[in-house]
Structure 1
Amino acid sequence: MAEAKPPVLPETMLVASFAAPGGPEVLHPAQMPVPVPGAGDVLIKVAYAGVNRPDCLQRAGAYPPPPGASPLLGLEVAGEVVSIGADVPPEMLGARVAALTPGGGYAEYCAAPWQHCLAVPDAMELKDAAALPETLFTVWHNVFERGLARDGERLLVHGGTSGIGTMAIMLAKAFGMEVIVTCGDEAKCDAARAVGADLAINYREQDFVEAIAAHTGGAGVHVVLDMVSGDYVARNLKCLAEDGRHVTIAMLGGAKAELFMPMVMMRRLTLTGSTLRPRSDAFKAALADEIAANAWPLFTGGELAPVMDRTFPLADAAAAHARMESGAHIGKIVLEVAAE
């Protein structure tokens, strides 16, 4: 049988771009050249692209892409591989994949390292697959690798109905943990409970430190996944059990925190954190392998599914960003680029 030949590709593609940093309204449809995959890359014909908080930060001028990355937004996509680099296994051509990308997802075609791809079975919708890589890679690394979470422990997650929050709830419950989340209103608390949270605290009506102390009988939580930072850090530490781990992945509440270090010492607390995008391709490839072995089968097998908010056409990326920044979303926002 003759080998599959790659399809003839257009020279240009539709993208969502911006000329200068600003609010969601700066995003607009444009035409750009189709990228040429490097030796270790695949070129994906994008069906759907996930929308994430770092996209909004980059659009606002606060999160520049790493050197060599596409200037376009978009850190996760799903679609079909239509071209491969010289060092990519030939069986990747024509494969349905979800990919963690260094950028470039808001486009009809996106290049990504082949080792950052996860296979998408025919029974799995590409829309769901596109909603997974960024949050799955982030939560797996920070909760289970950096946070050393294990079954029987308690996890506290702020922003329980965000893409990260819903992923953290699902994965932690799948691995036998108790999950406590904070949310901004009762509707979101209800949504978090529906996903699997054992306790959802409306932080506008309750002090989460007091609520956690009451719920745990003063024992506290073993891991905090913190997206707020700022003055939340000192409050988070009060929630931690002895030998607890505090993992910061975003700074929505400010970049500086004031800590009472004797508490850290006496209770043997660990403070850590990470950012995923600047990490090396080799690190992300190793992380992809671990996820493929341990977490991805939960989604491909149908045991877990991403919590989906809304889908917007690629040309309406501005509306997608406006929804994310409004805080009204529950779960993942995705862009439809080419319907399945």
Structure 2
Amino acid sequence: MDMQLHRDKWQIHVKHFYEYITTRLLHEKTVRIAGINQVDITRDIGNLAHVHFAANMFSLPLKTAETPKGVFTEHELWMAAAVIFASVFHDFEPTKSHPLRKVARKLAQALGGLIEMNVKTVIGTSFASKLIDSYRESDNPLAAYGIHMIRALTETGMSAHELAFSQILPTAAAMIPIQGQVFTQLLDFYLGPGDQHLPDIQKWAALDTAEADDKLLHYVQEGIRLNSTFGMYRHANVEHTFEEYGRQIHVKPGDNVFCSFVDAARDASVFPNPDVVDLDRPMDSYLHYGMGPHTCLGKGMSQIALTAMLRVVGKLPGLRRAPGPQGELKKLPRPGGFYVYMREAQDSVFPFPTTMKVHFDGSVPEMPTTAKE
């Protein structure tokens, strides 16, 4: 019973945090041009909300108005995480591989070293560690969860260095860019080919009920299914030959096979009427969080976070793309239904979305009373 209560509190804290930080970022980043509100929903909202979550959860050295002595600004921390992740999973260009890995290594050493220092203050018993620990925000539940997580991991026998570089850094580096990408992809869908569903999303966003949460979560799941780019490596257990993209592929037992979820997410045998948004699909039919032992450990947190963000953005009156190229998500196709995205100056590409501007009328929703309820 205590474990269930703890889990329920965690869900409430994550929901409140993302509603709070999304609203706060909208207040900070929105500009008014000729009587119209404009905000870069990707660069300044979708990407940065997860930066703030990771910074609070793992005590990352984020530099803000409240913490001017931090090391990384919001955008710097997002870029650091994105580059580290890209060097592992998106190192596709041989001519750019060396500089990418060189920069990623430098960033990983810097950020990992700072995380290691924080870990040492959490698990340390020295007077200095206790003094630093006494200055942590005792009313910040996310920081408290992070501290408990670190102390629990130390029971495995890992050192502070191992904890920082093999557990916390990889988790933060993956979570920040991936969750930002997913939010942009689902919003790009509902401001594009799925825009007929936007009025219903806005209707449910205005209601703070369990039913509204459920409806918005299903809109999140369907938006990700129809417009996201996910995949997973699996080991083949049997020999098989099949045709894909016009070529014969022979797989032997033990081969490492990349399975794209882009086509699988539109498999009519699993998703009847696969091109249609259906809010009644079973929640366990979705693939984008992995399956079985490969299920993403942050699945529950991600669903709550994205639902909370969609609720806040869905409240914006007259939400629409900014006119012209600035309102488009510029992307170039890659094999298997994947994409790379144009940078804001459109002079280079990046594995993750970096810009998509929207307009809305009226005013930004009022700030929640607190993020720490």
Relative to the length of structure 2, the TM-score reads: 0.23
**Which one scores higher on RCO, CA 8 angstroms, separation ≥ 6?**
2
Greater C-alpha radius of gyration: 2
Relative to the length of structure 1, the TM-score reads: 0.24
Structure having the larger proportion of residues in helix:
2
Structure having the larger proportion of residues in strand:
1
